[in-house]
């Protein structure tokens, strides 16, 4: 695509976990309803009285024993060293499944208590950073940067274990060697590299499930988050045997997230509406069966990998970003 580039292009992969971390933190504090709806990053502050309807403020009777005010949460959008390019509503679309978030609340509680956490990312070339303009700009490193900017601690442990061209089978065999028992949070990104439509009792699906079970059984009971990469370059189809929006792999792997009650973040849910609407920075030419298409200005680095800007978005949806190539 042609057109003038903005001075700084944030990356989509970095975006996902920032919002997810915002949900994480808020859930740890406010659990009255048993779960938290995925919030926008900018909505983490408690609204002031001025922001409430005037009539509602006037009719409130004074409370002789007012409750202690809730703690002020860090606005994670304020911590970003790059310019956000997704709205709060767009970030909210990324939530594929949130569930009870019991394990995420434990991670949030540690962060709020000023304790260090250990975070690991497992996946293929997208997690490794192929397509990012620099190693520090892939989604994993953007996610790590956001955590440390919002909850700084010298004792945090961040490790990117992504290996290009691999499916979950390699990690299933070596899970205990790649992720220590003390891990607090593990992000799993294999959607693009897994078979598209294998039966659930196939070796590939059984291997993927075994990886999830091994991670969930670690001594520290880490929160496991499933991150679905949207490989738009290869989603061409006629809407019958294949389609632009759906890809069987994500739908099938999402079943495991639901069954094991683990949060899942979908890049497709964020990107497709923007691409389909022709939003600047996300424009793609019409799809043609069997043909490769033009490259999104922010999202792709050729083939299925997010490029400079696209690589950080998973970090924000996890968090947010990348700079221009």
Local mean pLDDT, 10-residue blocks, the chain (325 residues): 38 47 47 40 43 44 52 61 73 84 90 94 76 68 86 93 73 86 93 77 85 94 90 59 66 90 89 81 57 42 44 45 27
Strands 95-97 and 118-123: unpaired
Q: What is the pLDDT of residue 299?
A: 46
- CA-CA distance, 206 to 101, in Å (whole number)? 24
* CA 137 vs CA 169, 307, 321: distances in Å: 27, 9, 7
So what's the pLDDT on residue 322? 30
Q: Which of 132, 223, 136, 122 is nearest to 169 (CA)?
A: 122
Q: Would the CA dihedral through 110, 113, 116, 121 be positive or negative? A: positive
Residue showing tokens 């502050």: 45
pLDDT digits (tens, 9 = 90+) for 24-66: 444 444 443 334 444 443 344 444 444 445 444 434 555 555 5
Q: Which residue reads 């799809």 in tokens?
A: 287
pLDDT at residue 135, rounded to an integer: 61
Architecture of the domain made up of 15-32+73-317: 3-Layer(aba) Sandwich (3.40)
Per the CB < 8 A criterion, the answer to whether 311 and 14 are in contact is yes
Instruction: State the average pLDDT for the chain.
Output: 68
- pLDDT score, position 34: 38
What is the predicted pLDDT for the residue at 281?
Answer: 75
Q: Coil, helix or strand for 262?
A: coil
Please report the pLDDT score of residue 268 as a whole number: 85
- Helices and strands per DSSP (H, E), number in the chain: 11, 6
SS3 assignment, position 247: coil
pLDDT at 269: 86
Distance CA 178, CA 27 (A): 29
């Amino acid at each position: 695509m042609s057109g003038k580039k903005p001075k700084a292009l944030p990356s989509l992969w970095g975006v996902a976990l920032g919002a997810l971390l915002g949900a994480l933190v808020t859930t740890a504090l406010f659990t009255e309803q048993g779960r938290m709806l995925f919030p926008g990053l900018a909505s983490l502050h408690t609204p002031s009285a001025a922001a409430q309807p005037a009539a509602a403020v006037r009719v409130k009777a004074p409370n002789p024993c007012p409750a202690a005010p809730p703690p002020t949460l860090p606005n994670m959008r304020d911590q970003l060293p790059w310019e956000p390019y997704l709205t709060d509503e767009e970030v909210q679309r990324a939530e594929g499944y949130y569930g009870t978030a019991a394990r995420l609340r434990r991670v949030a509680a540690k962060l709020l208590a000023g304790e260090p956490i250990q975070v690991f990312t497992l996946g293929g070339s997208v997690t490794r950073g192929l397509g990012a303009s620099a190693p520090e700009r892939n989604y994993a490193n953007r996610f790590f940067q956001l955590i440390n900017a919002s909850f700084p601690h010298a004792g945090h442990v961040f490790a990117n274990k992504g290996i290009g061209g691999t499916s979950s089978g390699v990690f299933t065999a070596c899970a205990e060697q790649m992720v220590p028992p003390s891990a607090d949070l593990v992000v799993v990104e294999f959607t693009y590299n897994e078979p598209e439509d294998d039966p659930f009792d196939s070796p590939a699906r059984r291997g993927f499930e075994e990886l999830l079970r091994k991670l969930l059984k670690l001594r520290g009971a880490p929160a496991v988050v499933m991150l679905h990469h949207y490989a738009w370059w290869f989603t061409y189809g006629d809407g019958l045997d294949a389609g632009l929006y759906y890809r069987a792999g994500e739908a099938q792997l999402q079943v495991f997230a639901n069954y094991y009650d683990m949060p899942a973040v979908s890049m497709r849910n964020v990107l497709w509406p923007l691409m389909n609407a022709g939003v600047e920075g996300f424009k793609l030419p019409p799809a043609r069966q069997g043909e490769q298409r033009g490259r999104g200005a922010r999202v792709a680095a050729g083939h299925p990998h997010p490029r400079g800007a696209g690589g950080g978005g998973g970090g924000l949806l996890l968090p947010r970003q990348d700079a221009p190539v």
